[in-house]
């Protein structure tokens, strides 16, 4: 008798335990979707912001005449990053194309060392607070680099769309999912979500691919 009652109690805990695990995986699916969504928005925002300046669409276009270039590492850089990354800082004088902005203490991070007197095409992202303050911000412009940022912008579309899909359906993008992909995809097909998901992912992949290819041809 006691054995039968014990078995009944053990059976009774099954559904509640399954429900608890199911709810946990459901929350995990939406949490993973939220991570994908935020990561995609951040990647697209970063690519659009940097690409706008590097392409010359934003900021003040001008020329920086190099005075000197030197390798500069961040104080907290690790030994491996010091070995693999060699950030070069070139200092000189900046003059905008319209002549309205002049900065004798301009500096820009570049990938190559340039000889003194070399003229670099740069964008002034932030003007000096006052004359001679040497606190202006500059970035080397060029469409080859800009297209790489645009590739990141389109790549963010893919992550954002996947995140929105997981948030809407509860599908877990990693590990064991409480909701199978086929079921989540079927529920998405009852409205316009499936067409939007397919369309945005395709546009993101094509945009990123074309942007990367163009960056090597520019």
Cα–Cα separations (whole angstroms), residue 144 to 106, 136, 150: 23, 24, 10
Q: Is residue 142 very low, low, confident or very high in pLDDT (cuts 50, 70, 90)?
A: confident
CA–centroid distance for 213 within its chain = 19
Q: What is the pLDDT of residue 47?
A: 95
Tokens 């991070």, located at residue? 109
CA 217 to chain CA centroid, Å, is: 23
pLDDT value of residue 174: 62
Q: What is the dihedral of CA 100, 115, 109, 105, to 10 degrees?
A: -40
Please state the rounded mean pLDDT for residues 118-130: 87
**8 Å CB contact between 56 and 123:** yes
Q: Confidence class of residue 126 from pLDDT cuts 50, 70 and 90?
A: confident
Model confidence at 9, pLDDT cuts 50, 70, 90, reads: very low
């Amino acid at each position: 008798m006691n054995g039968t009652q014990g078995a009944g109690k053990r059976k009774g805990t099954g559904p509640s335990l399954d429900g608890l695990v199911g709810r946990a995986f459901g929350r995990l699916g939406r949490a993973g979707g939220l991570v994908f969504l935020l990561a995609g928005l951040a990647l697209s925002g970063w690519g659009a912001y940097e690409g706008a300046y590097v392409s010359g669409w934003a900021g003040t276009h001008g020329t920086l005449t190099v005075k000197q270039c030197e390798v500069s590492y961040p104080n907290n850089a690790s030994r491996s990053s010091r070995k693999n990354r060699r950030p070069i800082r070139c200092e000189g004088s900046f003059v905008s194309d319209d002549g309205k902005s002049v900065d004798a203490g301009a500096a820009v991070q570049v990938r190559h060392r340039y000889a003194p007197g070399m003229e670099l095409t740069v964008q002034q992202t932030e003007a000096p607070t006052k004359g001679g303050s040497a606190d202006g911000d500059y970035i080397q412009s060029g469409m080859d680099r800009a297209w790489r940022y645009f590739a990141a912008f389109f790549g963010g579309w893919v992550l954002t769309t996947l995140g929105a899909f997981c948030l809407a359906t509860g599908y877990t993008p990693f590990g064991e999912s409480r909701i199978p992909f086929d079921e989540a995809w079927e529920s998405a097909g009852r409205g316009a979500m499936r067409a939007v998901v397919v369309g945005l992912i395709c546009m993101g992949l094509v945009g990123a691919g074309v942007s990367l290819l163009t960056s090597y041809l520019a």
